[in-house]
Chain A
Amino acid sequence: MKAKSFNSEVSNKYKWSMVIDLDKCNGCGACTIACQAENNIAVVGEKLASEKRTMSWLRVERYFEGEWPELRVIFLPMPCQQCGNAPCEPVCPVFATYHNPDGLNAMVYNRCMGVRFCGNNCPYGVRKFNWFGYKWEASLQEQLNPDVSVREVGIMEKCTFCMQRIRRGKDTAKDEGRDVKDGEVVSACAQSCPTKAISFGNANDPESHVSKLVKSKRRFRLLEEHGTDPSVIYLKGGA
């Protein structure tokens, strides 16, 4: 694994990117629910949710512009931006989060001690912490995704670009002796978006639709002045 200093270029076949078209997002929230179902995210209940302790890895941010009746609402789905120069990574004292060769910011739940410096250093605020040990009732445990570990109390967690699906896709491709094809690996949020606002794929594959979207003229990234080099590209230009 090669990593050049102070830049995120990793010589690798895969660079998973997500493109979110804000002109198409209608704020339905299906992505949030899909993410919660796919990744065994705890449902915290009304009281904790009012204390801003929801565990959702992907949230849809809502911004209001103007005054009623000329009110406009802008929806911004905010997953983990999987930064190339992730500020959350170097500050973890135990290497519980690191950069993997696919350009993703990986979490090692077993290693996390719960110091929470990474949460402080994320400028987007996408990292979540397990404030309590959340339990599922016996029957609800049937719905847990067996590919994703259930986190215990005191651990940080965040969106992983559905790492389990990437893994499965790469395993299948390896068994068949080929690379992952475009559209074979899709994150839960991209899969469930009714307007296809979220696109997911390998930006290093010139045939994938994501790599074409990434070059769009409407593209921007969030908080680029921090030099975090996020892998999530937003598109906005329309009305």
Chain B
Amino acid sequence: MSITVLGLFDKIEEPAAMVKPLEDISIHEKDMALISVAPYPDGTVFYDEDHSPLWAIAIICGIIGFIAACGLAGWTQWHINLNVGGKPTLSIPPVVIIAYEFTLAGAVLGTFFGMIYYAQLPDWNDLAYDQEISRSKIGVLVRCEDEATAVKIEEIMRAHNVVTIKRGRDDF
């Protein structure tokens, strides 16, 4: 069980300056998180690239949609086998149209649910957060293993004009 320390700051410069002292006590990006009301460009405080395979999920769900469409438009035409207006029993152009729509629908749904999943939502467990963040405070979440490190982190935060400090559970 790790300990999480949440510190709220007024300006972005303060967490940015905190990165070096935290590194000195061996806290790296994977144990830090920046919580803000609007996204800061990557690297403002530290670099942490996003590795979620959202594009793969979108493509896979798009392909599933495409196959579903071919089944829906294509197979049902062939299955019913009724002659309508001299059109072929399995006419391809309508299948193309339905496939286009369903591929995009699959991609959209895949992206959406992929985003929900990779953003660790829905989050009903009351993870570390403070409502002041919506009033433009910037939150820095630091995770550590033991109480001693936690105390050191709090000291560093106080040295950088922290406004509030809160403790939480393993909130990553």
Direct contact of A and B (CB under 8 A): yes
Contacts of B86 in A (CB 8 A): 3, 5-8, 84-86, 99, 229
In the assembled complex, B17 has its CB within 8 A of some CB on chain A: no
| Chain B residue contacts of A90, Cβ below 8 A | 84-85, 87
Chain A residues, CB < 8 A from B37 = none
Report A-chain residues with C-beta under 8 Å of the C-beta of B82. Answer: 95, 98-99
Is residue A89 within 8 Å, beta carbon to beta carbon, of the partner chain? yes
Report the Cα distance A85→B84, complex, angstroms: 8
Q: List 14 A-B contacts (CB under 8 A).
A: A3-B89, A5-B88, A6-B88, A7-B86, A86-B86, A88-B85, A90-B84, A90-B85, A95-B82, A97-B84, A98-B82, A98-B84, A99-B83, A99-B85
A1 on the interface (CB 8 Å rule)?
yes
* Chain B residue at minimum C-beta to C-beta distance from A91: B85
Please name the residue on chain A nearest to B89 by beta carbon: A3
Residues of A within 8 A of B88 (CB): 5-6
Contact-residue size bin, chain B (C-beta under 8 Å from the other chain) = 10 to 19
Chain B residues in 8 Å Cβ range of A88: 85
B80 interface contact, C-beta 8 A: yes
Residues in A with CB closer than 8 Å to B52 are none
Question: SS class of chain B's interface: helix, strand, loop or mixed?
Answer: loop
Interfacial chain B residues near A83, Cβ < 8 Å: 85
Given contacts A86-B86, A95-B82, A99-B83, 15 further A-B contacts (CB under 8 A): A1-B81, A3-B83, A3-B86, A6-B87, A7-B86, A85-B85, A85-B86, A86-B85, A87-B85, A89-B85, A92-B84, A97-B84, A98-B82, A99-B84, A99-B85
Please state if B81 and A89 are interface contacts (CB–CB under 8 Å). Answer: no
A interface, by DSSP: helix, strand, loop or mixed? loop
Chain B 52-90: CB-based contact to A (< 8 A → 1; otherwise 0) = 000000000000000000000000000011111111110
1/0 per residue A215-239: CB within 8 Å of B? Answer: 0000000000000010000000000
Within 8 A of B (CB), among A94-113: 95, 97-100
User: Which A residues are in CB contact (< 8 Å) with B85?
Assistant: 83, 85-90, 99
Point out the residues of chain A lying under 8 angstroms from B80, CB to CB.
Answer: 95
Instruction: Kindly report which residue of chain B lies nearest to residue A100, judged by CB atoms.
Output: B83
Alpha-carbon distance A89/B87, docked complex (angstroms)? 9
Interface residues of A in 103-154 (CB under 8 A from B): none
Query: What residues of B have a CB within 8 angstroms of the CB of A7 in the complex?
Result: 86
Tell me the complex Cα distance, A211–B119, Å: 74
Task: State the CA gap A156–B45 with chains docked (Å).
Answer: 69
B87-106 interface (Cβ within 8 A of A): 87-89
The CA-CA distance from A6 to B80 in the complex, in Å, is: 18
A87: chain B residues at CB < 8 Å are 85
In the complex, what distance in Å separates the CA atom of A164 from the CA atom of B38?
72
Residue of A nearest to B90 (CB): A5
Give Cα distance in the complex from A100 to B88, angstroms: 14
Closest-CB distance, A85 to chain B (whole angstroms): 4
State the CA gap A87–B89 with chains docked (Å): 16
The distance in angstroms between the C-alpha atoms of A83 and B86, with both chains bound, is 10
**Set of chain A residues within 8 Å of B83, measured between Cβ atoms:** 1, 3, 10, 89, 98-100
Question: B29: shortest Cβ distance to chain A, in Å?
Answer: 55
| Least CB separation from A10: chain B residue | B83
CB distance from B97 to the nearest CB of A (A): 13
Q: A8 contacts which chain B residues (CB < 8 A)?
A: 86
A6 and B84 alpha carbons, distance in the complex (Å): 10
A170 and B104 alpha carbons, distance in the complex (Å): 50
